[in-house]
Amino acid sequence: PVSRFSLDQRAGRAGRTAPGRCIRLSTPLTDARRPQATDPELHRVDLAGTLLLLRRMDYADARIFPWFEQPLSERLAAAEELLAMLGATTAPFGALTALGARLAELPVHPRVGRLLIDATAAGEARLGASLAALTGERDVRSQQRSLSRENSSASSAVAPAVADVLDRIDLLAIAEREGFHPGLRQRGIEPQAARECAQVRDDLLASVRLFSAGVSNGAPVRTATESHAVDLVPRLLLAAYPDRVVKRAAPDANRGMMIGGVAVELEATSAVAARSGHPRPELFLAVACQGLGQGMRASTVVRQAAEITEADIEAVFPGSIQRRERLAWDDQKQQVTGQIGWYYRDLAIRMARDTQPDP
């Protein structure tokens, strides 16, 4: 969905060195409805890293920073909310915390920084770097392998996994052992994507080593294999994506509601996907999404997910699950009815119905 200016620019490329022809896979009506120009990048990108940098420069409130072009207020608010959820600030537009000061030292997005800090504190820096690379870069798993997994899942041949990234960790290890050989495509691995992920992982590890005194209190940075730390994966991912908690519509459903009232749907190829009659844990983390933040008409598809529990949420963000009681008047019964719920942010984790209200 590009602007008309971009369409004209691409047509110009077709005739750059000689007369050419530009073929558009769209209708004139669709083209006429496009915006005239592309929105400035400041209005499109995640501003969390920028706002963290401003905090480090003693600009506590980005709303009064002398921007060349003022960001949209809703994008500022979203970035501030994320920083607060990550523990980088005391509250939206609040002061920088000790954790936030350490996050500002790392040359990565605050999400990745929080993941690396938590992983390093647990003695699993390599695992943290692998998770960041495999969830943030091109997918090392080929489309062919995804379709194969979907067919196998339908026939109950694939054992459930707690996170999609675990399969990708194994695929990356295979690709490294075989030198990223082009023949890996026949086994469902994209060799170039795997090479890029390995490079990003190693760069992140180098960053962790550089700042290890600050992030691990002087403890050695462990870079051993990540295979023995599977149970840590959901909590490390939750530390980076506190705003992506989803509750399924039903135990055997792949549709659900995310924090903020965003409706999402798990891809059938996900290891976390449920099948009819085979319930899975109700809470999961939407790690890699397509269509998120593109408006109400866009369908948000979850391509990578991880199952989590209330215990995971409490372990990573203590006190974030709160008990709330809501009262209502029942006209038919002519009495006050109560409903008690346990909420993570605005997401109802579980409810206790028909409870007797306190008189």
Torsion of CA 302, 307, 312, 318, to 10 degrees: 20
The b-or-e profile of 285-315 (16+ CB within 10 A means b, else e) is bbbbbeebeeeeeeebbbbbbbbbeeebbee
CA-to-CA separations, 223 to 173, 294, 331, 333, in angstroms, rounded: 14, 38, 63, 63
**pLDDT tier at 299 (50, 70, 90 boundaries)?**
confident
Rounded to an integer, the average pLDDT of 106-118 is: 94
Would you say 102 and 117 are in contact if contact means Cβ atoms under 8 Å apart?
yes
State pTM to two decimals: 0.82
Distance CA 93, CA 238 (A): 23
Residue 265: strand, helix, or coil: strand
Dihedral angle, C-alpha 53, 58, 63, 69, nearest 10 °: -60
Percentage of the chain exceeding pLDDT 90: 57
What is the per-residue pLDDT across 184-222, written as a single tens digit (0 to 9) for each?
999 999 999 999 999 999 999 998 887 765 444 444 444
DSSP string computed for 219-237 = -----S-SGGGGGGHHHHH
Q: Are 37 and 5 in contact (CB under 8 A)?
A: yes
Give yes or no for residue 342 having a pLDDT over 90: yes
pLDDT in tens, 249-266: 999 999 999 999 999 999
Contact 242, 283 (CB under 8 A): no
